[in-house]
C-alpha cells in the first residue's frame, strides 16, 4: 500500500482565519453552558464538554470537578451497559 503524496492534498480550503484566536475561550464557554444545562443534553456530549473544560479552564478546581463528573458519567454508562435496563 503506497502513501498518498502531500501534493494530492488540497490545502486551498484551509486558512488561518478559520479559527478565531479566541476559540478556546468560546469552546470553554460553550462547554460550561452544556454542563450547566446537563438535563437537556446526552451524557456523551456532557463528557465531551467536561473534557473541554478540563483542557482549557484556567481554574484547577473546575478542571478537577469536570474530570470527576466525566468519570462519574462514564462509570454510570458502563454500569447501564452491563445491567441492561437498569
Q: Is 54 within a domain?
A: yes
Q: How many domains does the chain have?
A: 1
Give the pLDDT confidence score for residue 19 in this predicted structure: 74
Residues 6+ apart with CB under 8 A from 63: 53, 54, 57
Domain membership of residue 58 as a residue range: 21-83
Q: Is 25 within a domain?
A: yes
pLDDT over 90 percentage in the chain: 60
Q: Is 5 within a domain?
A: no
What are the pLDDT digits (tens) for 4-26? 445 445 555 555 557 788 888 99
CB atoms within 10 A of CB 65: 16
Closest of 67, 55, 45, 60 to residue 25, by C-alpha: 55
What are the pLDDT digits (tens) for 27-65? 999 999 999 999 999 999 999 999 999 999 999 999 999
Amino acid at each position: 500500500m503506497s502513501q498518498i503524496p502531500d501534493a494530492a492534498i488540497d490545502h486551498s480550503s484551509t486558512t488561518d482565519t478559520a479559527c478565531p484566536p479566541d476559540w478556546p475561550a468560546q469552546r470553554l464557554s460553550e462547554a460550561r453552558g452544556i454542563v450547566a444545562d446537563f438535563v437537556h443534553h446526552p451524557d456523551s456530549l456532557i463528557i465531551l464538554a467536561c473534557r473541554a473544560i478540563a483542557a482549557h479552564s484556567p481554574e484547577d478546581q473546575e478542571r478537577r470537578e469536570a474530570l470527576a463528573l466525566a468519570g462519574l458519567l462514564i462509570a454510570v454508562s458502563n454500569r447501564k451497559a452491563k445491567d441492561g435496563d437498569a
